[in-house]
């Protein structure tokens, strides 16, 4: 008589990881004992280092001379202010306006010129993606307009170079400066990142069909100049993370003395009225730490002050109410030293 076959034993699956010193956290490690001396010394050193650095940063920031001039409202008369959008979109209106500014403190050259836009969301996902990096650097890819719609091709289906909403919305206000009837030269060389000029914008890629699509955007580009020399475009296409941002327009290499009267001629071309944005012209000097930014110095001072305060508190606790230190020999890694081998 044949015996019935026994059912196969089901294979057991386990989620238990294979043993290793890494998975069981048994690798050699430095496990310091935080004695009162170590804690107090650490907080004291942090405070002693951070406070002087914070004072130096704050002093450097305060020594920066900066002037901010809002002009989007000043460049509208009473009639045009009632319909600013129609004014800025019209090709028939005169958009040149003049304002003056008196230097309050001496500004040592180079003086950096920025334009500042408020309520402008360059970090919008669709806006940030609206570009083609291959097209910007490689002349063989000028027909590649992926991700650039609706600014990818002209009405005649010719590719736009550079394509996309970022390039299409290029800032096109211009500024001219006069001091005592003498024109100040604005240097626009090397205002963009050198890495962008070398690696992100090609020396053999030239603008083609730019601003010839169905919608008219911002500035136009010279088709005889390669993209790696179009520094206004390179600066603009490094998109900002916040809705209020500044971008470098140029540099004035001469000094401005106290009480100099600066006449500024502005071509108010860029449309920020349609979305409630503001435009400002910024003139600023720079120090070893950059432009005016008190936050960094205040942050160092805050961390240094809190560290010194913690050191003082721990000293008082140690003096007023000391606690005996435990025996380190009872620690697990000291009881079983073979674990660390």
- The contacts found for 216-221 with CB under 8 angstroms, 24 or more apart, are 217/151, 217/168, 217/169, 217/170, 218/168, 218/169, 218/170, 218/171, 218/172, 218/269, 218/270, 219/170, 219/171, 219/172, 219/269, 220/172, 221/170
Q: pLDDT averaged over the chain?
A: 87
pLDDT of residue 288: 87
Model pLDDT for residues 17-62, shown as the tens digit of each residue: 778 888 777 788 777 778 888 899 999 999 999 999 999 999 999 9
pLDDT of residue 7: 60
Is the confidence at residue 296, as pLDDT, over 70?
yes
pLDDT of residue 41: 93
pLDDT bucket at 340, cuts 50 / 70 / 90: very low
Q: pLDDT at residue 144 above 60?
A: yes
Q: Write down the pTM of the prediction.
A: 0.79
The predicted structure's pLDDT at residue 110: 92
């Amino acid at each position: 008589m044949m015996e019935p076959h026994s059912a196969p034993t089901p294979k057991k699956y386990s989620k238990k990881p294979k043993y290793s010193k890494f998975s069981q956290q048994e690798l050699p490690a430095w496990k310091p004992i935080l004695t009162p001396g170590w804690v107090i010394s650490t907080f004291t050193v942090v405070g002693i280092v951070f406070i002087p650095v914070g004072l130096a940063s704050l002093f450097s920031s305060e020594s920066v001379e900066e002037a901010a001039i809002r002009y989007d409202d000043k460049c509208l008369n009473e009639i045009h202010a009632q319909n600013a959008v129609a004014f800025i979109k019209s090709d028939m209106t005169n958009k040149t306006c003049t304002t003056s500014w008196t230097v309050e403190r001496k500004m040592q050259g180079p003086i950096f010129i920025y334009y500042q836009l408020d309520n402008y969301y360059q970090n919008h996902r669709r806006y940030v993606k609206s570009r083609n990096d291959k097209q910007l650097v490689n002349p063989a890819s000028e027909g590649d307009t992926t991700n650039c719609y609706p600014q990818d091709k002209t009405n005649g289906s010719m590719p736009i170079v550079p394509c996309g909403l970022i390039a299409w919305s290029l800032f096109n206000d211009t500024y001219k400066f006069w001091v005592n009837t003498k024109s100040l030269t604005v240097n626009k060389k090397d205002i963009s990142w050198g890495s962008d000029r070398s690696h992100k914008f090609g020396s053999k890629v030239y603008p083609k069909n730019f601003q010839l699509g169905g919608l008219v955007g911002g500035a136009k580009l010279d088709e005889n100049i390669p993209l790696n020399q179009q520094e206004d475009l390179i600066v603009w296409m490094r998109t900002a993370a916040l809705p209020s941002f500044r971008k470098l327009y140029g540099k004035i290499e001469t000094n401005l003395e106290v009480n100099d009267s600066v006449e500024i001629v502005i071509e108010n071309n860029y449309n920020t009225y349609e979305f409630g944005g503001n435009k400002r012209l910024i003139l600023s000097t720079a120090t070893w730490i950059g432009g005016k930014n008190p936050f960094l110095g205040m942050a160092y001072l805050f961390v240094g002050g809190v560290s010194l305060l913690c050191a003082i508190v721990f000293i008082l606790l140690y003096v007023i109410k000391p606690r005996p230190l435990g025996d380190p020999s009872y620690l697990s890694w000291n009881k079983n030293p073979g674990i660390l081998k």
